[in-house]
Structure 1
Amino acid sequence: MRIAVIGNCHADIVAQSVRAAIRDQTADCRHIISYKTISDTDRAFVEAADRILIQITDFKPDQAISALIARKSDMIGRFPLIAASFLYPGAGKPHPKAAASRSFFCPSGYYEGQLSERLLIDLMQAHADEPPEAIVERYLAHDYAATLDLDRLFEINRLKMRRIGEAAGLDVWPLVERRFRDIPLFWTYLHPSGDLLRPIARHALNQLNLGLTPATIEVAIGEIKEPLGFSHMPLHPSIVRHFGIEWAGPAYRYRLMPDGRFTAAEFAIRFITFAHDAPLRQAVFDVHRHVGVDAAVKVLEAARARSPDNGDVLINLAIGFWKLGQLNPAIEATTAALELDPTQTEWVRFLCILLRQARLV
């Protein structure tokens, strides 16, 4: 059986859950990116697919994809896009240096559109003679509510998402409206957290009509994990104040994998100076694709020495040790990562795997 999942990063997460749900069956599930020109290989896959899950958005997918799915309407399930432009009114314009920093291990470059802030870019250009700290002061002092109708922006966002939800058969906006002040529901304006991705994935799995049991579906969505390079874009303080967002105070630290966790002010300094750790990013990439693991582990060990409280460095170092067959160092690094952040269930599962393997040696 072939299952095509068509959409943006939401679809990648949905495809993860599909693979987890049907792992005991002979099936091939593929994520097809909807906003890029479809390749000949992917076109052939969609044409031969037995099931198609397509993301409903407020913009049209690639024309070739639209033509393909029009011929297979009886095999299609739908799931919604969910976005929060009202939280990130300055997002979308990449850092001026982003394009030049693209690489095979960072394809979009650093501080691309979803991890960027137009206001900061404007201030950098208007006050190029000022030190970064002065520009950050200007940035933090800005009041978005004085230049934008934030309530109207919220209403436009709400109407779009509810329209998309109705077309997809699942409206998750009520959950957004109830909880966005209490917990982080979006990592960027286009990337929801697991609290939103899980109901979307559950809905998509039910749309397959494969007779999956509720227990199978819940296990599958419980295995959802963020992709490499995951980052949480900081909210501007005036957005936090206007909407009464309780979790995002000045001391809140946003996770920028794998560099560390930073306050909104610290992120702004890094953005202005274009601070990033390319060797560390490549080391994480190499560990996961199992290429040059020895060299990657050395980079990660050096990063640990510089930043011993960086859980992402520790867990990726542990994975590197594990791939080199060094179980005890892997267990130590994983334990250290969990001491920093015991909420990471994926790290807990990895520690269980390591301990089980250690008993068998």
Structure 2
Amino acid sequence: MLTSDTDAYYSPGHVAQVVAQTVERSRLKSVIDSHCGRGALLDAVEKSFPKIHCAGIDLDGNAISHLRKIRPHWTLVRGDSLAWTAWERIHRKLGGSVDVAVLNPPFSMGQVKGVNIELEGRVLRGSLAMAHVITTIYHSNPTRVVAVLPESTMFSEMDRQGRAELERLYDVEVVAQFKSSTFRGARANSLLVGMTRRKRQRAASSVEKAHYMSLHNAIVRGGLPCFEAVSLRHGVPFVHSTDIKDLVRGEAKESLRTVRPFTRGIVNGHMILLPRVGVPNKANIGAWFTEDDVQLSDCVIALQYRSERIAHAAAVNLRRDYEALASLYRGTGARYVTVGRLSEWLTNARNTRTYAQL
């Protein structure tokens, strides 16, 4: 069973106040925070809605004991909100659904990058933060959700399935962005996300899936991590993100380190090279051609084109729309882009502008 033995960075007062203001409902009877910590979010909501009943869950026994002393009228459960046993105890005390959920879930779980999210016979894969949001929704059925989330939750490939599930049930809106220094002791880009339950659930779009799949052959993500690259005298030239500037400006690929080839991320022809991690420099966005194979590192993405003319035209378009391209690089820590995010943006761009076809 997955548990939430995680990092703990509590909500500052000004963040809690913004969360309470975002609740936006005049008649509320109940609110839950499934990872309540010291109770800052519930306190802020209670100040705005004095008659509301507050409920909280937290794995930290000391935090729950403290809250029981200072907030004896709250419903408080010590337990893991990803475990059904904690919700059984909440349901016994509260009954059915709640009006609103306010959340600041754990942003990470040590070295664990993804978790399984089990719901109604299905299993989704996502981040720990997404697991807390979806589990809370399915156990408490709130009409409104206001959550402080790591920025990557709304943009990463890992949480694509989770976002689709949220958007099927709720209208989802990014309300605000917090600075990376917001949480004391942590450097994490975070967002305030508001969700309002839909009257009718949205079906998944097969058209969107078709667009996404149709672009995979033209956008290539590198596959060889630098620490796994094995130098080989007569191997394949190895392209790292730090090489993009020199290659675009005419540096011969013979200057590149040669390595034993990997099964993924080998390309040739006309292309634009972009860093996968780290926002690209506008001046380094240009067409590049290689007749022979090169091996892309796992921090490089190649956009491939049929001809030199199309590649150059695409580079002009990308530099023209640089701000929009740069905005695709998101992340709780280092900024990065995913193939899915880039594919979707290029598809939309081609539908609204005269873009070179991949």
TM-score (norm 1): 0.30
More strand per residue: 1 or 2?
2
Which one has the largest radius of gyration? 2
Q: Which structure's residues are more often helix, by fraction?
A: 1
